[in-house]
Structure 1
Amino acid sequence: MKYLVLFLIIISCGTSQAKTIEIQSFIFPPYIMLNAQGRAEGIIIDLIDQSFAKLGVDADYQLSNWARAYAKVKTHQSQGLIPTMRTTDREQFFYYPDTAFLFLDQHLIATSSWSENSFSGDFSELDAYRIGKVRNVRISPSFDAALADKVFDVDKHNSVEGLVKSLLLGRLDMIATDSRQALLVATQEGKPHSLKLLKPALGQVPVYLAFSKEQVDEKFVEQFDQQLKQLLEQGALAQLEAKYLQ
């Protein structure tokens, strides 16, 4: 309790005094990564750092795995959690800013030589192709339902990296995954223009920074939201996509 009181006192003193918020996360390229110096970087990391800088706040990133990261913040042992979806059950533990960092764009992705640029939405068409996805990852309600009903079948991979490499090697015709992650892998493989995103997206998932209700004052969350919203309105996301994906 004394740590909570101290943190709230610091927050109430204004944004000019330096302070640190511990944020739990896991490796999630290109959103959350470690650079050669062992420091956290990535699209979401940069958005937080730029927003916090306006408030005189430092972020201390602790990277482990999703289960550990979620548990640490849910039990109020740490102040923030990234990336997370906003759900009714989680709102009893966390404050969420109104503004999401971005939307995870789940797409059907083929190689650049693929003749079509779009997907009709008729999942029965996919039964004629070799489709890949990451094991245990949800794509969209309609895609997942069609897969459960065995309208088509998929090859399951353990990572986006393996998924993209199989596509580039011609072992798959299409993959279903987050577009930015796939583009990063293709760039790392030296083939930045080798993928084609079939439109429209299968689904879009907003992701947030969640704050522990017992560790962070709600007024600070509102201040963070204002700074993040302003950054995004100024085009920060496009700039960071160019930085990490090209």
Structure 2
Amino acid sequence: MTEHDNLGGCRPSGGGFRAWAPRWLTGWLLVLAGGLAQAQMPAPVAPRPTLRIVGLEVPPLITAGPAGVQGLVVEIVTAAVRQAGYEPRIDIMPWARAYAEVRDQRVDALIPTIRSPQREAELAFGDQPIFVSEQSLFFRNDAAVRWRGDVTAIHGLDLIKLAGALTAAQLDQAIANRQVTVHEAANYALVMRMLAGGRGQVAMAPKLIGQHALRVTGNSHLIQAAEPPLAYQPFYLAFNQAPHLAPARQALDQALARMWADGTVQRIVASHKP
């Protein structure tokens, strides 16, 4: 026996819901259930905008490894850029080319760099450094120089340094005044080889970079970093001056401030010390 319901269908008088529900109603309920399930699914996450960053290979700060570009500065920059809401793409280039690519707005940012009047005129710096380096003088163990932190102790000597690199304010001034004779090298390993070979009496390098160069060239037993350091030099990530990068620069500055405050930067640096 069947009876008509007010939706225009027929249902058995004694059956359950499945027995009498019209097919179109069942289909409508299935569509509704599917829509509710889809509405509860998380929205797809938009990809992070990419920041393209370039720098000179200076182990252990930046170095090419089997897993890509690695190093102390790379770790700090990667963490800060991601905290700021971006994804870094970091490439190694010779210094002159890297600087020109950023200055001419073909690449977003440069690492690591020191502030100077010329660079501040051509690039855009934030307030927070990515790393603070001990800028050290290196002497052979048989050197007669008595170093106590005063750059006048090396006036008249032959100084070996990285080509095109700034050092520390008082030494840069001594170089400009020709109070030291400068010999330049293409990389820090060559700087240390030249010092070991007697091409000069003193070399200048960021301490961690210089110590790494001594290990890879096998000269750690001949040369040491002098104490105290010549200076403590902040290194920065510098953006190009395109207006659309101003929000990224501000966000990165805020991320770096948090990382300095919570000890993240200090922990990364400590993990790379010999």
Q: Paired residue for 1:72?
A: 101
Match of 2:53 among 23, 38, 44: 23
8 Å Cα contact 2:146/2:153 also seen in 1: no
- The answer on whether the counterparts of 1:79 and 1:215 sit within 8 Å (CA) in structure 2 is no
Question: Which residue, 70, 75, 83 being the options, matches 2:112?
Answer: 83
Q: Which runs of 5+ in 1 are unaligned?
A: 1-14
RMSD: 3.5
1:62 aligns with 2:103: no
Shift of 1:99: 0.3
Larger RCO: 1 or 2 (CA < 8 Å, sep 6+): 1
Verify: 1:43 aligned to 2:72, yes or no.
Answer: yes
- The 1:203–1:214 alpha-carbon spacing in structure 2 relative to 1, beyond 3 Å, is same
- 1:45-93 deviation line (CA, Å, top 9, x unaligned): 1111111222332111232222222222222222222222334554455
Q: 1:234 to 1:183 in 2, by over 3 A?
A: farther
Q: Whole-Å Cα distance in 2 between the matches of residues 212 and 130 of structure 1?
A: 36
Quick one: which amino acid aligns to residue 268 of structure 2?
A: L
Structure 2 counterparts to residues 230-245 of structure 1, below 5 A:
230-245=258-273
Gaps of 5+ in 2: 1-44
Task: Trace 1:101-120 onto structure 2 (pairs within 5 A).
Answer: 101-110=130-139, 118-119=147-148
Summarize the Cα distance change of 1:130–1:97 in structure 2 as closer, same or farther, 3 Å threshold. closer
Partners of 2:152 and 2:164 in 1: CA distance: 19
Partner of 1:8: none
State the shift of 1:148 in Å: 5.9
Query: What are the equivalent positions in structure 2 for 1:146-185 lying under 5 Å apart?
Result: 146-147=174-175, 151=179, 153=181, 156-167=184-195, 174-185=202-213
Please say if residues 78 and 215 of structure 1, whose CA atoms lie closer than 8 Å, have aligned partners that are also in contact: no
* 1:210 lines up with 2:238 in the alignment: yes
Is 2:128–2:257's contact at 8 Å kept on the other side of the alignment? yes
TM-score by length of 2: 0.66
Single out whichever of 145-154 and 235-244 deviates more from structure 2: 145-154
1:33 maps to amino acid: T
Aligned residues: 230
Give me the TM-score of the superposition, normalised by structure 1. 0.72
Write the distance in 2 (CA, Å) between the matches of 1:217 and 1:202: 34
> Please, which moves more after superposition, 74-83 or 156-165?
156-165
Alignment partners' CA distance in 2, 1:163 and 1:109: 10
